[in-house]
Structures are given as C-alpha cells and as structure tokens.
Chains A and B, each alone.
Chain A
Amino acid sequence: MSERTIQTEKPWSWKNFFFQWEWFLIALLIGINIFNSFLTPYYFTADTFLSTPMNFLDKAFLVFPMMMIIVLGNIDVSVGSIIALSSVIMAVSYNAGLPMPAAMVLCLIVSTTCGLINGLLQAKFKELSSTIVTISTQIIYRGIAYIILEDKASGKFPSWFSFLGWGYVGNVPFITIVFVVFTIIFAILIHRTRFGRQLFAMGNNSTACRYSGIKTENMLVSVSTIMGFMAGITALFLTSRMGSTRPNVASGYELDVIAMVVLGGVSTAGGKGRITGPLLAIFIIGFLNYGLGLFNISAQVLLIILGVLLIVSVMLQNLRFDKRRQKSGVVSK
C-alpha cells in the first residue's frame, strides 16, 4: 500500500462558483423583468409571475428531453410535426366518436411511437445523422397530419378539456404544476440516475461507452421515445389552450426549443450541460416574448433578438471553455 491518499472532498473555489453560466442567465432574466416592469404598471405582482408562464409553458415540456438529445450530441427537429400529428389524430378520433380520455391516451401513444421510430432509425442506421433522420420524419409526420385533416381545423372538445391549458388549482395554473412535476422528474433523471450518467458519458465519448458495456443503441432509442412522449404532453396542453387543432400547429417549435437548450448552456457538441440552464432559458425567452408583446412588437423582432442572443451566448461559452482548457493543460483534438 502506498502512503499516497486520494481525497474524496470536492475542492471548493470561489472562482469556479462564480464562473458558472447560470449567473449570466439569472442576470439576464432579472434584466428582462426590470425592463418589462417599465412597460406596465403593477408588473411586480404575484399574479404576473403565476399567470404569464401559462403562455409559454406548453413549449417548455419539450426543453428537457431536447436537452437529453443535445447532450447525446444529436438533434431532433421533428418535434413540431409530432405535436401536430398526435394533436390532429386526437381531434379526429374524438370527433369520430372515441371518448375524450381515450383520445388523449391515443395522442400520447401516437407521439411516443413517432419518437420511437426516430430513435430506431438512428440506432439502426448509424451512418445517418440525427439531423437527416429527423428532417425526414418531420416532413413525413406533418404530411400524414395534412392527409388526415387536410387544411382544416378540428375541435369541439368537451368543456372540461380546456382545464388543461386554462385551469387553476387555487392560485396556481394547472399547467405550471404539471411543469414543476416534470422539471423535478427530469432533473432527477438527468443528474441523479444511471441513465443520466450514461447520457453524459455517451455525449463525451460514445466509443468508450460501447467498450464499457453501455448499450448505446438502447440509449438512443429511449431518449427519442421520451422526446416523443413529451411531444404528446405538449400536444395535449397546446390543443387545450387553442380549443381546436390544425395540421400546421406547432410549426417552428423545434427551433424555439433548441434555442432554449443552447441558451441554457448545453453544448451542441454533446456531453455538457446542467438542467438549471435550460430551465432559466425557458423563462428568459418566455418573459422576453411577453414583454415585447406588451410593447406591441411583432414576433419577427423577437426572432431577431433570439438569434442574436443565441450567437452571443454560444460565443461567450466557447470563450469560457477555451480559457479553462488552456489552464488545465488539456489538448483538444
């Protein structure tokens, strides 16, 4: 035995503590809220912060599974189409006589299957990139939605269905409660379980994972399936808020969601990120959107601001990582 000991305490340094992406995001979030408060009187009330998120939380369900996909080093641009397809099938099957609860379950089954197909394609055909696979299925899924409903709307849901998107439990919107529950589930899944550990390991070095006995194909399929399931949840809340559905709903959602994940500091190269980042990013983009809405600025301007924000954030992160690498003497390949 050697006299050498290996410490098990985490080294603490103030620099590492303050050198975290989340501080920047928190500052950004506070800044946006202060800006918003100039636009409307009585902004800083509990009601603002409880009710405003209802407008954007439907999208937020997609952020955590998308984070998992990006941590793997992949991307999924088909989520918007999955939402449209599952929502359309739910509406059509309800109007064809299926009871609403059964139609809702069908919606989740459809979306989960779509995700599963994405995953299987990626696992079976490794030479295809996730971008290509999901661009193809994006077109296919939305195409099917158009074939089923053509360019029409379908709705007339029972009145209780609107509770999902509009209902309150006490003072708190129902959607917020569901969101909190999912946030906790995903935080645990990503950061506290074997599954999460394998996720980050694969994002860093997929070959080493294969040699370490991790079933990398299963991981790909699971993550895509979870993404599909969460797209179904989004479809439920979105349809409930809109009261009816069309084959073109949720188009462009995938880009918003990817933007939130990247703004949240998750590396598109895979293997790096913390769930707190995307969580803050959801509210940053949500409140920014809300504020610009109050100001009567069109959605297109928001897109421009979002784009700039993304480029700046990715740039800042890379600067930070480079500096760290140089210090620790790691040669990047």
Chain B
Amino acid sequence: MSEYILELDHISKSFPGVKALDDVHFKLEKGQIHALMGENGAGKSTFIKIITGVYQPDAGEIRINGKPTMIRNPIDSQKQGIAAIYQHVTCFPDLSVTENIFIGHETINRITRKIDWKTLNGKAGEWLEKLDADFYPQTIMGTLSVAQQQIVEIAKALSANARILIMDEPTAPLSKRETEDLYRTVENLRNHGVSIIFISHRLEDMYRLASSVTILRDGRYIGTWELDKISQDDIVKAMVGREITQFFPPRHAKIGGEVLRVEKLSRTGYFKDVSFTVNKGEIVGLTGLVGAGRTEVCEAIYGVNPPDEGSVYIEGKQVQNRHASKAIEEGIGYLPEDRLKQGLVLDWQLSRNITLASLRRFEKKGFMDDSKEREVTKTLGEKLEVKATSVYDKVATLSGGNQQKVIVAKLLTGDMKVIILDEPTKGVDVGAKTAIYKIMNDLAQEGYGILMVSSEMPEVLGMCDRVVVMREGRVSAVLDARKTSQQEILEASMVLYRGKQEDGQERKAQE
C-alpha cells in the first residue's frame, strides 16, 4: 500500500484559448496538511475542480491509495472520500444544522419510510462534539457565524466519510480568534487521520498548519517544499518568478496635471479610507488579491454603488456621484468587470451598444439621429479596430476581445477625462490583449487619465506608471511601477504579519 493517499501525475487541462493546468504534480500523504499556493489565476481552482470531479483532466493520472482512479463527476469524488469546503460556505441557511449535514444522505426509518430525525440529530450532535462546536444540531444554519458554518461544513464532509478534505481559503472571512479555533479543528482532524489540502493567501496560515507546500504559477507546477526548509521570501519568489514578456508597447504619454483624486473613500464592509490620484496621461494600476475591494472602489467612484464617506475630485473640483449618469457627465467612464452582464446588450447591434451610454449626443430635435449614430460608430469601431463587418452586427457574435473594444468605444462617445478599466484583459486571448494595451496607450497619449484594475502582475508592471495596491479593503502601498517588482506588489497585497506593526495592532484592536 502506498504512503500517499492522493497522487496527481502529469495533469493537464485546457480551456478554449487558455492552458489552465500544464503538467501538474501533487502528492498528499496520509494525515498530512499540504498547502497549495499560487497567485490569482495560477490554476488553483481548476486543480480543485479536477480533484472534485467537476472537470476532467485532458491528460495525466490520478491515484488514490496508489490505485489509478477516474473521477468522472462530483459523486465519484464523494465516493472516494474527497470533500471540499469553500471560502463562501454553500449551505441552506433556512434549514437546521442536522438537515445541512445530512442533506442527500438522510437515514430513513425502515418501517415508517420517514426520515429518522432523532437518530440524525444524535449523530449530528456527536460530530459537533468531536469538533468542539458550541451550538446544537437543531440550530438554524443562517443564525450561525461564518466560522460556525464552516464547522458544519466540516461535519458534513466527515459524515460522508471524507478522508481527503480540500479547504479553499477558509480563513479569509474569519477574525483572528476564529482563525485560531479553525487551526485547532484542522489539527484535530489531521490527528484523526484526515488528509487536508489547505489553500490560503496568508503565509501565516501555512506556516502554522502545513508541513509541505506546493506552488503553482500560470498553470504550471513550480515545486513542492517542506515548509521548514523554505523561507517566506523564497515562497513569494516562487509564486512570482517569471519574466515579463515583451508584448507591452512602449509608452510615450506625457503625464500632466491631476485629473482624478479620491480622498478617504469608505463603504462599510467593502473598503475603508481609500485615497489616491490619477494624472492626465497616466495609467495607474489598482491591484491586490481578488476580494481586496478593488472593483467596489471603482464602482463607488463611478457612482453605481456610492460610497458612505469620502470625496471624489475631477480636475480639482469635488463631484457627488450618486448615479452613473452623473459620473458620465463629470467625465468618468467605467469599463465594468463583467462585460456580458454589466457592459453589453448582447442581442443588440454594434452601433446601438456603442451609443447606449451617451444617447443624448445622438439626438436631433428630440429624435434619435440614426445616421449620426452609424457614422460615429463606424469611425470609433475602425479606430479601435473592432473586427466586425457592419454596424448592424450583433455584439453576441463578436469575440471577447472585440466585445471589450465595443465597450471602450462606448466610453469614447462621451467627453471622458478619466477612464476606469476593470480587468480589461480578463478572458481575452493574447492577440486581443496586445490590441487593448495599444488602445490604452493611445488613450493615455490623448490625455485621458486611466485607472486599470488588474490581477495580472506583468500587465500591471508593463502598462502602468504607478501602482496602487489594496489589501483587505485598504490601500497598502502606492508604488512607482518602474522601480517596484512583482515581489514587492505581492507582498503588499498579501497578509504577512511580518514586521508590520500597524497590522498586528489592528488585529489586536479588533479582538
């Protein structure tokens, strides 16, 4: 019998246009806590989905207890004793803890053919006791805290005889004390022989819990290390360590005066005291880990989700954006993160999509001026090199990159001063990426101030003049893009608790 409970060998998985995983290895010992690390988009999610049977690998082998195994679907994975607990707990908030634990595998009384709640409640109680829970099986799930809900999720996994537990950023939503409790629970599980794959952005979690770490980068396997033999710096280097490829066009824009200033912007639960500036002709990157509050800040500036406190200045003049229409009037354009839902009317032709944000400009004596609309659309479309044959083409038929260009064109129909681009290259292919970078450069040269939200380090370093890094809703660093490094940005975006006094105090203050 093998000493590894789970082995993945040469696993590859491609999606149209992207190689999500490329020859990845992973070995999990019995009773081991094994950390999995990587930047956003490094392939961690795909990796989990392959283990849990959501995706099938294109190549490679999965062995469980040394036996090659096919995991065709999530049910297969469950039968093999694999369970996953996600950052955002997926539960039924209106049902009781017992119902949540045993949903799908309730015990049925042989005679009455009814669900045997008495037994189930008893069993649930046993699990909760083992996990040191401070609530009862009959408690309604929705009334529990996130940490308590995680306990229920763990109980649910154990009740289904899970031997391999995947925990995806379980500490992210927890307070310091809850995190400590979770550590104890996880260690307790390990001592009972459960093997755990632990995914976290917090280096602290890893050093506290795990014995080994496997690092992925851009879908590739970088290596596995014993944690007592690798330093934090080396981990960060391993996560980042790649060359910036040369497809970023050279920048010539002249940087002028301030065009956007944000002061102490706060929205409860999302971000706090966010301040930064963007100058004319400047490209400022807004980066940080997913969930750091970047999109929320942009939406606050743009007025779709107004901030609770703080002020926004355009060319030194304070503006009150309670609605996107006001922001557009003031010269703020926003390319939303989810282009299909927030940016486009998919069933509509090119021209109508482009004019949607500035319909007033295409009116003549109260009527829509269709010929002006067509002409302006044609000019903008050709300028941005949208690959369409006619202004009547439906945007649904265009590729992701071209759809993105359509939204940029939409911003250009108005009199914009600042353009906010939220993950402009997300889900577009490499060619289209280069085209979008070129457009950004051209716009900066024309004197627009550009704020780009991006999770991709090379993009941030290659395109931006300055980088604003956010961590857990606050600005943690403003860096000069020419002088900084991926490592510095990543350190500023991760929670390190290393020599960072103010952080430690803050944590203490919260407790």
Contact = CB atoms under 8 A, between A and B. Distances in A.
B359 A194 contact: yes
A4 B385 contact: yes
B324 A211 contact: yes
A212 B390 contact: no
Interface string A190-208: 0011101110010011011
B397 A328 contact: yes
A329 interface: yes
A279 to B, nearest CB: 20
B357 A212 contact: yes
Interface in A125-162: none
B356 A192 contact: no
Contacts of A328: 394, 396-397
Interface stretch (B170-178, B182-190, B339-347): B339-347
B323 A4 contact: no
Query: What secondary structure prevails in chain B residues at the interface with A?
Result: helix
A328 B397 CA distance: 7
Contact of A197 (B334, B359, B378, B392): B359
A274 B392 CA distance: 18
A184 to B, nearest CB: 13
Contacts of B344: 205, 208
A139 to B, nearest CB: 30
Interface in B370-416: 374-375, 377-378, 381-383, 385-392, 394, 396-397, 410
A58 B360 CA distance: 35
A2 interface: yes
A208 B341 contact: yes
B368 interface: yes
B392 A11 contact: yes
B410 A212 contact: yes
A2 B385 contact: yes
A188 B366 CA distance: 10
Nearest to A329: B397
Interface string B337-368: 00001111111101010001101101100111
Contacts of B323: 213, 215
A265 to B, nearest CB: 15
B367 A192 contact: yes
Given A6-B388, A215-B325, A205 B346 contact: yes
Interface string A51-75: 0000000000000000000000000
A210 B359 CA distance: 14
Contacts of B350: 6
Nearest to A194: B359
B101 interface: no
A7 interface: yes
Interface in B410-469: 410
A10 interface: yes
A4 B374 contact: no
A201 B360 CA distance: 15
Contacts, number: 109
A1 interface: yes
Contact of B325 (A10, A193, A214): A214
Contacts of A329: 397
Interface in A1-54: 1-2, 4-11
Contacts of A215: 323, 325
A190 to B, nearest CB: 11
Nearest to B394: A328
A271 interface: yes
A308 interface: no
A9 B328 CA distance: 30
Given A6-B381, A215-B325, A208 B356 contact: yes
A330 interface: yes
Contacts of A271: 345, 347
B389 A212 contact: no
Contacts of B293: none
Contact of B382 (A4, A208, A212, A330): A4
A193 B347 contact: no
B341 to A, nearest CB: 5
A232 B506 CA distance: 63
B378 A6 contact: yes
B342 to A, nearest CB: 5
Contact of B345 (A5, A10, A208): A208
A302 interface: no
Contacts of B346: 204-205, 330
Contacts of A192: 367-368
B390 A205 contact: no
A92 interface: no
B473 interface: no
Contacts of B394: 328, 330
B255 interface: no
Contacts of A197: 352, 356, 359, 368
Nearest to B355: A197
Contacts of A2: 382, 385
Contact of A7 (B302, B386, B391): B391
Interface string A205-226: 1011111111100000000000
Which of A11, A196, A207 has the most chain B CB within a 10 Å cutoff?
A207
Contact of A204 (B343, B348, B368): B348
A207 B374 CA distance: 24
Which of B326, B377, B382 has the most chain A CB within a 10 Å cutoff?
B382
B389 A7 contact: yes
Interface string B203-219: 00000000000000000
Which of A8, A210, A211 has the most chain B CB within a 10 Å cutoff?
A211
Interface string A306-333: 0000000000000000000000111000
Which of A192, A208, A210, A328 has the most chain B CB within a 10 Å cutoff?
A208
B327 interface: yes
A5 B382 contact: yes
B57 interface: no
A8 B343 contact: no
A1 B397 contact: no
B347 A204 contact: yes
Given A193-B368, A198-B359, A213 B341 contact: no
B304 interface: yes
A193 B382 contact: no
A207 B342 contact: yes
Given A201-B356, A204-B348, A329-B397, A6 B324 contact: no
B370 to A, nearest CB: 9
Contacts of B328: 213
A2 B383 CA distance: 7
Interface in B297-335: 302, 304, 323-328, 334
A267 to B, nearest CB: 10
B281 interface: no
A8 B392 CA distance: 7
B336 to A, nearest CB: 5
B390 A6 contact: yes
- Nearest 3 CB-CB pairings of A with B: A213-B325, A7-B390, A212-B357
Interface of A: 1-2, 4-11, 188, 192-194, 196-198, 201, 204-205, 207-215, 271-272, 328-330
Given A192-B368, A208-B344, A330-B394, 6 more contacts: A1-B382, A8-B390, A9-B390, A204-B347, A211-B336, A214-B356
25 contacts: A4-B387, A7-B390, A8-B374, A193-B367, A194-B360, A194-B362, A194-B363, A194-B368, A207-B342, A208-B343, A209-B356, A210-B324, A211-B304, A211-B334, A211-B342, A212-B356, A212-B410, A213-B325, A215-B323, A215-B325, A271-B347, A328-B396, A328-B397, A330-B394, A330-B397
